[in-house]
A = this chain, B = another copy of it.
């Protein structure tokens, strides 16, 4: 079994990487609607559990702390997030969503989900089932970024 799995693993790795690499461009296109950039939406979504520290945002996104800071400053200037002092640790900063930020997530998602739904609509039921079954797996793989 091992000797049968080993080559399949390599091939799966190759094909999956290829698919993800292509998806990078798809995401860019989907997000190029002038609402929120991919990076800003990703950063905003981190704030849905209230009061997140900058370092955590960076870790969860898989970027360095200065990159997270930069995004947060942009979100703050746009009125979508706010930085507050951490009561427990005055080195730290707690980033919170503003109501406008919450709305912005909603709005960007609505529009982009509609576009994606339009694409998914052209698939077969089997295709959609296969996709749905793989999503938890993909998220499991994505979560390895945090280490």
A contacts, CB < 8 Å to B: 5, 8-10, 12-30, 38, 41-42, 61-63, 109, 112-114, 116-117, 119-121, 123, 125, 127-128, 130-135, 137-142, 144-145
* Count of identical protomers in the assembly: 2
A-B contact pairs, 27 of them (CB 8 A): A5-B125, A8-B128, A10-B117, A12-B117, A12-B128, A12-B131, A13-B117, A14-B109, A15-B135, A17-B113, A17-B116, A19-B139, A19-B142, A20-B27, A22-B42, A22-B139, A22-B142, A24-B27, A25-B42, A25-B63, A119-B144, A123-B137, A123-B140, A127-B137, A130-B130, A130-B133, A134-B134
Q: Provide the main secondary structure of the chain A interface.
A: helix
Residue from B17, B26, B42, B137 in contact with A144 in the complex, judged by beta carbons closer than 8 Å: B26
Contact A145 B29 (CB under 8 A): yes
